[in-house]
Structure 1
Amino acid sequence: MSVVLISILTLVGLGVASALVLYMASKKFQVFEDPRIDQVEEVLPKSNCGGCGFPGCRAFAEALVKADDISDLKCPVGGSATMTKVSEILGKAVADVKPQLAVVRCNGSCEHRPKLNIYDGAMSCTVAAALYGGETGCSYGCLGCGDCVVACKFDAMYMDEATGLPVVIEENCVACGKCVEACPKNIIELRNVGPKSRRIFVSCVNKDKGAVAKKACAVACIGCSKCFKVCPHEAITMADNLAYIDDDKCKLCRKCVEECPTFSIHELNFPPRKKKVEEEAIVEA
């Protein structure tokens, strides 16, 4: 038998032996994957935005399948419709997911919040926040560099050149929370969409005392508590010289809006108010 033939047979034998070893190893160490993971992933929006708290839709699907209780897990992009499909696949109860949108809790435009200095550094809110309090007297407000806009994957935000503030495009927002995470000043919040997309919130996060806050920004919350006193639904709390409206308790009566002396409480998507008749009865001369 020639040397070449022996070499070929040896190599063939080694190949077969190696294949058998690998086959047995794959069977022994085979990891079983629940087929429901693929089914759940299929009904998820595949946006991989991370709004669910997991790195992607696949990871979220795995967590849903493995969890005994999924009532605390939600997909902000797919909302209740998607979670209902997940419930049907897994036979597990899911909580009702209230649709939410991002709101910007700062109204300190250039008109209301004059600049005291000019920032000349990297155009990043994170960098600017690490260096100093900002260009104005309010160290709590928007820095205007647009980190939130960059973080948004759904083209749901843009920077308004006139005000220097971010604006939310409601029809594009999926409440993934990426803009919330990106803002170092914590001025962006996810709030319930509300009936007919109507919302009321305090557009300020300034915790300074009233006089200091008002000097820095004309539309700052001054902690006067007038809104707190007039709210009939106990939806407003006062803490650190700042009012906050709980959107789960708010009944959208708008009494707080009328009471606010600095117009820091915003009402969105409401019809125009009817003009009050100055005198209900006119006394004829």
Structure 2
Amino acid sequence: MKSTVLGYPRIGARRELTKATEAFWAGRSNAEDLESTAAGLRRGVWETLRDAGLDGVPSNTFSLYDHVLDTAVMVGAVPKRFAGLAGLDAYFAMARGADGVAPLELTKWFDTNYHYLVPELGPGTDLRLADDKPLYEYTEAWSLGVETRPVLLGPVSFLLLSKAAEPGFWPLILLDLLLDVYAKLLAGLHQAGCEWVQLDEPVLAADRSGEALEALRHAYHRLGSRNRRPALLVSTYFGEIGDALRVLTASPVEAIGLDFVAGPGSREALAGL
């Protein structure tokens, strides 16, 4: 039996990240100062988990603000009203707003006290691999002597947690374009030597409509069927996933994560396969 965790707190034992971002927003520090603090926090987490004896250490669990926002930036889902901004200015404007520019909507992350920023998707959204944060953090950890398992918000959850940028638009219609982005990222991670990637699909505890299940089947058949990729762990949490379990077990992914605490019925469902 091997041990791992799905993620780890990112703000620091003494709220170092909160203090660093507030200093950056107030103009008391610059981007280099903020990144230095962030790098130190990432290193501390990786070394803590490695030294604790875990067999699998997650990476890409760090965020300057919100992991859903990070995913939106990674796949190029940046609304046009932020087009005049770049880098951290654009990132934090999406999170907090800027002069005359409204931020993304903030809403509750399932049944937790955490809130996430809701991506806005429409027919004009140009999905592409616009940022290599998961690859950067994987290679950063590797350079420190820590082999990690990058954690990504899964493509189905990303789309179902997004909102339509205009009436009548259905975000799931972008699934194949989004899978192109994920496939490119997985190929890059494989080339870098990454052995495992974790794809989180928490939405399966809340939305198991026919459309969601078909999107899940299509997504993981396509990603799992690729030859040059890391092994895939599709992780679910916040409850039982019902029929989604059979969809995932029929896919070519290597591992599935289930929540036996919030979803006690998962044991019976697993035994019944």
- Using the size of structure 1 for normalisation, the TM-score is 0.28
Greater percentage in helix: 2
- Using the size of structure 2 for normalisation, the TM-score is 0.29
Query: Which is higher, the Rg of structure 1 or of structure 2?
Result: 1
